[in-house]
């Protein structure tokens, strides 16, 4: 189990390795790592949106609803990448040949599932808003959350949380 600072450091390293630049489109990153986006309803299907399905080969699909803002979608994609980079290697090691599915809905009584969701959120925040760049931007804009949100292509909510925790 990684601690929050370790997840942040790892996420920033992954973003740098993949050539992700804050606020740039995140979708092209998926192509580099054999991933794709697909859309399905948020409710009403056995396999809902806001989830990732990873084949044993490592190819994966992130399912989106298409009913949320682009800023929210970016965070969701980064969150699902968190599951891919943090959790799929463990699934692959413990259950060779098995598919991994991580969904938006977790059993709140399951501490492991809750922890995995926290870790994926920590990953997404650091991937999209690297600490040094975020601190520098926050200083330049006098902690204006609207400016930070626009600069990093995230929701106001995500920018507020990152401002409190970075």
Tens digit of pLDDT at every position of the chain (166 positions): 789 999 999 999 999 999 999 999 998 999 999 999 998 766 555 456 789 999 999 999 999 987 888 999 999 999 999 999 999 999 999 999 999 999 877 888 888 889 999 999 999 999 999 999 999 999 999 999 999 999 999 999 999 999 999 9
CATH of domain 4-129: 1.10.10.2910
Q: Can you give the residue ranges of every domain in the chain? A: 4-129
pLDDT tens digit string along 65-111? 878 889 999 999 999 999 999 999 999 999 999 999 998 778 888 88
Q: Which long-range contacts (CB under 8 A, 24 or more apart) does 146-154 make?
A: 149/71, 151/22, 151/23, 152/22, 152/23, 152/128, 153/22, 153/23, 153/24, 153/70, 153/71, 153/74, 153/128, 154/71, 154/74, 154/75, 154/128, 154/129
Express as a percent the part of the chain with pLDDT over 90: 80
């Amino acid at each position: 189990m990684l601690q929050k600072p370790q997840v942040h450091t790892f996420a920033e390293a992954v973003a740098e390795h993949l050539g992700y630049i804050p606020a740039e489109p995140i979708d092209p990153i998926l192509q580099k790592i054999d991933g794709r986006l697909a859309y399905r309803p948020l409710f009403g299907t056995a396999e809902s949106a806001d989830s990732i399905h990873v084949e044993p080969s490592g190819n994966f699909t992130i399912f989106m609803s298409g009913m949320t803002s682009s800023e929210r979608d970016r965070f969701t994609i980064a969150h699902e990448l968190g599951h891919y980079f943090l959790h799929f290697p463990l699934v692959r090691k413990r259950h060779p040949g098995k598919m991994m599915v991580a969904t938006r809905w977790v059993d709140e009584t399951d501490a492991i599932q809750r922890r995995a969701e926290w870790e994926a959120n920590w990953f997404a925040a650091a991937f999209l808003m690297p600490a040094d760049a975020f601190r520098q931007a926050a200083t330049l804009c006098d902690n204006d959350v609207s400016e930070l949100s626009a600069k990093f292509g995230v929701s106001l909510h995500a920018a507020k949380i990152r401002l409190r925790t970075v």
